[in-house]
């Protein structure tokens, strides 16, 4: 499986380079991006995830959050680096929740946060509103 994954990322890299792709969005990608791929597209790959990481990893993060009684949920849009989910943060969106919200409510509100954070992150990037400064992104909101 590892050999096929390496071959797959190599093919994807070749396609992206031949098409002069300016931005790659990994929404719901759920794969670890190899370091050489990250290097080839440094500052041009964006990911979105719920802000529970690393608190609630694995399956059913909204159920886990509900069971723990979280008060805030949200999403983080960031640049992808070879360090998993540790790239410079472009945008974050949070929503206050309460005891009466079900896990389904948390998931719905979380998806809304993800959409908003991703849309803003993409907009800031494509409009040259971000500067990557080592491990952080400096963002000039519009």
Catalytic residue among 14, 85, 112, 133: 85
CA gap 23, 12 in Å, rounded:
13
β-bridge partners, 76: 49, 92
* Look-up of token digits 């719905």: 108
Backbone angles phi, psi at 31, to 5 degrees: -130, 150
Active site residue 85: yes
Q: Which contiguous run of DSSP H or E holds residue 42?
A: none
Report the C-alpha gap between 25 and 34 in whole angstroms.
15
Catalytic residues: 85
């Amino acid at each position: 499986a590892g050999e096929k994954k390496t071959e797959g990322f190599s093919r994807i890299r070749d396609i992206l380079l031949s098409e002069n792709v300016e931005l790659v969005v990994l929404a719901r990608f759920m794969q670890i991006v190899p370091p050489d791929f990250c290097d080839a597209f440094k500052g041009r790959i964006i990911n979105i995830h719920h802000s529970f990481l690393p608190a609630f990893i694995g399956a059913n993060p909204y159920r886990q959050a509900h069971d723990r009684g979280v008060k805030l949920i949200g999403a983080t849009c960031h640049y992808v680096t070879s360090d998993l989910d540790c790239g410079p943060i472009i945008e974050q969106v949070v929503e206050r929740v309460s005891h009466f919200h079900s896990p389904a409510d948390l998931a719905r509100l979380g998806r809304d946060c993800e959409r908003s954070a991703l849309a803003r992150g993409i907009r800031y990037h494509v409009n040259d509103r971000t500067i990557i400064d080592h491990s952080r992104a400096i963002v000039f909101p519009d």
